[in-house]
Structure 1
Amino acid sequence: MRHESQAAPSSWPHTAEGPSPWHESERFAVLFTRHAPELKRYVIRRLGPEPADDIVAETFAVALQHLASYDGSKGNERSWLYGIATNLVSRHRRREIGLYKALSRTGADPVIEPFTDEVDRRVSAGVANRRLAKALAGLSQAHRDTLLLVVWAELTYDEAAAALDVPVGTVRSRVNRARTKLRRVLSDADPEEG
């Protein structure tokens, strides 16, 4: 795994001798505070709410284990964490595909919007969510991972490339191909289909 050879993020203070003498727990707290909430939302959208806490915890456990050797030149801390999380999500791929299949039947988005009373909008969104979930399930894992890092996690192409340890051109190509396939599948689908 590429995470094992990485050193302290460039955003952390350094002295002439190297990283400042921050305690690992302080460095970890900064990393966790900055990124845990958005990382959890990403994992919820990928796998549903049930495994999200475990995946996020495991992501930060891996990060803590490799914190001292993190190499900030390969990407920022955010893309490093999303790379770890995406690898862990890949281990749960069968569950993810199951979630997309269930979502394609029910239309219930696992990221709940609180206090929403617009029934018409929710019904329309439910149909759209089912169609989108079915289309996402039809993408290859590489295309789905790349697209969802850019769309749901809102990583830049450069950050997604660092997270996946692939060239930025590969990210651009995968996102383009995934969007093209989604457009084709969604335009072919019957809007009344449920």
Structure 2
Amino acid sequence: MTEPVASVLTEDLAQHAPERGIDQHVHLCQRNPEGSAYTCRPRVAASHFRRVTALGNPVTPFGRQHGDIPTHEGEALSAETVEIDDGELIRRSAHDPEQFAALFDRYAQQIHLYAARRLGTQAADDIVAETFLAAFRRRGTYDTSFALARPWLYGIATTLIARHRRQEERLLRALSRTGVDPLPEALDDTVARRVAAQGRERELAGALASLPRGHRDVLLLVAWEDMSYEEVARALDISVGTVRSRLHRARKKARNVLGDEEL
């Protein structure tokens, strides 16, 4: 998947910003020797756009750092950029593609964690690259009246994850059969920790695997990503009523496993 992503991205950059001195060298994500963290080198190193294409700092998988703003090669975001809402950044990026890089800084790590919990770290690297490539190419369709682009970006990522539905279900079913989690810490939220303490990871994994994809998407966006019903509706392009009904059914199935535990 890496080569098509990189080649399309270099084509886009060549079209949108040929005057910016884009260096079209492709680099791959590399795992640190100890295996506990990863470093994604920029797939396209660009003087004004390198942050759109890959994670620049080593981060520990699943190590949430809410409120942190990733920086790249020691370069911090300006105070002005931090204060601009997502919709305004996307609007500005129509004339200045560099502005779009700030969205990567804000959300790439979160989306990588979400994808890694569902598919594993290796697949998540590609999901992040493809998500921001697709978002960059579709930015002209974004409704800039929405200040937060997070639901939009998660919607793109979730659509891409759907292409790996069989892989996700295989991983969950493997856990349900063996009790050995192929995605370390993939269920590390509060509910899952309670389930783990009771030795019931296998049952929960089996319940998740058996859910229809749309129901699982809604449940995980709410439970893992703490999205509101309205945000999930935007992300998945469904009504709030559909979000409520899918979540109710998914929770009911999970509660059959967890008993009275809240999910």
TM-score (norm. length: structure 2): 0.57
CA–CA distance in 2 between the matches of 1:111 and 1:158?
30
CA–CA distance in 2 between the matches of 1:13 and 1:50?
29
1:168-179 aligned within 5 A: 168-179=240-251
Indicate yes or no: 2:97 matched with 1:24: yes
CA–CA distance in 2 between the matches of 1:21 and 1:81?
17
RMSD: 2.8
Q: Which amino acid aligns with 1:173?
A: S
Q: Which has the higher contact order (CA 8 A, sep 6+)?
A: 1
Indicate yes or no: 2:122 matched with 1:46: no
Q: Which of 77, 91, 97 is the aligned partner of 2:163?
A: 91
3-state DSSP of counterpart to 2:200: helix
Identity of aligned residues (%): 48
Identify the residue that residue 65 of structure 1 maps to in structure 2.
137
1:149-164 aligned within 5 A: 149-164=221-236
1:1-194 aligned within 5 A: 11-12=87-88, 19=92, 23-27=96-100, 29-73=101-145, 76-104=148-176, 105-108=178-181, 110-112=183-185, 124-125=196-197, 127-187=199-259
TM-score (norm. length: structure 1): 0.76
Q: 1:152 to 1:167 in 2, by over 3 A?
A: same
CA deviation profile, 1:34-84 (whole Å, cap 9, x unmatched) = 111111111011112220100111111100111233123478310000100
Superposed displacement of residue 141, structure 1: 0.8
Structure 1 residues not aligned, in runs of 5+: 1-8, 114-120, 188-194
Paired residues in the alignment total 168
Structure 2 residues not aligned, in runs of 5+: 1-84, 187-192
CA deviation profile, 1:68-122 (whole Å, cap 9, x unmatched) = 3312347831000010011001110000101101222234272549xxxxxxx89
3-state DSSP of counterpart to 1:110: coil
Select the structure that is richer in helix.
1
